[in-house]
Structure 1
Amino acid sequence: MPANAMSHVRIARPSRDLRAAERFWVSGLDLGVLYRHEADGIPGRHSLLMVGWPQAAWHLELVHDPAAPVDPRPTPEDLLVVYLGEPVPDALVERLERHGGKRVPAHNPYWDTWGVTLQDPDGYLLVLSSRSWSNE
């Protein structure tokens, strides 16, 4: 099957602390845990956490290698944008903050106009946008 609009997308990132990441993404944003693997101290094995919405065509994979951790190095333009199509609920922002997120100003002021930017426990940015989006 060639790559096309039906192809599933995995976004993989290193994480310093998978438990902190899970609190933010699952308890904060309400993504589901799709898969979990614990390395259990076995050399060469990575711990990972896959999160997403079950019906989505994408998921986020967070990886931690306890034997050789990779430090996350997000830039101000490394964004995961979720288009809500309505004003960003204050309760959602507050829940993300309670679960380890930090509201930050966007590097690009467009996102401050059209949403809210939060930093996850690893320093990556989540934008909750009040706009809608379609690739059509």
Structure 2
Amino acid sequence: MPVDGKAHVRIARPSRNLAAAERFWTEGLGLSVLYRHEAAPDAPPREDHSLLMLGWPDAGWHLELVVSEGEFVRPVPTVEDLLVVYVAEEVPQELVDRLEAYGGRRVEAHNPYWDTWGVTIEDPDGYRLVLSTRDWSNT
């Protein structure tokens, strides 16, 4: 398969707590658990990780969250580590409320563009989700 616009994209990042992240992304945003792997208690180093893949089944991307039991990699998000979802309409307040109820925290965007054109929510690991009122197309 050539590398082009039809190639699937995986966004991978470390997590502090997969259970908290799962609640935020599934119960809050509505993503599905696409795959789960639990670390075996006797796994050798570099294989002792648990991971969770989340996404919408029909999307061309998914989010992978990983916790390594032995060599813990701590998430180090910045204010510009954004996952932007283009909603193409006003962001429903009940969605924002649900994201906050499941561990998110509404924050002011570092770039004021995102406050003008959306809502920024920090996930339980400190990464930012922007729900943009705008639409986007690469064509």
TM-score of the two chains, using structure 2 as the length reference: 0.96
Q: How many residues align?
A: 136
Q: Does 1:56 align with 2:59?
A: yes
Equivalent position SS for 2:115: helix
Q: What amino acid is aligned across from residue 106 of structure 1 in structure 2?
A: A
Equivalent residue for 1:18? 18
Equivalent residue for 1:101? 104
Q: Give the % identical residues.
A: 68
Equivalent residue for 2:75? 72
Equivalent residue for 1:47? 50
Counterparts of 2:58 and 2:91, CA distance in 1: 22
Deviations, residues 34-73 of structure 1 (Å, cap 9, x unaligned): 0000003223321000000000000000000011111101
CA RMSD of aligned residues (A): 0.7
Q: Does 1:81 align with 2:84?
A: yes
Q: What amino acid is aligned across from residue 29 of structure 2 in structure 1?
A: L
User: How far is 1:92 from its partner?
Assistant: 0.1
User: How far is 1:96 from its partner?
Assistant: 0.2
Counterparts of 2:84 and 2:121, CA distance in 1: 10
Counterparts of 1:68 and 1:43, CA distance in 2: 11
Counterparts of 2:8 and 2:92, CA distance in 1: 28
Segments of 5+ residues of structure 2 without an aligned counterpart are: none
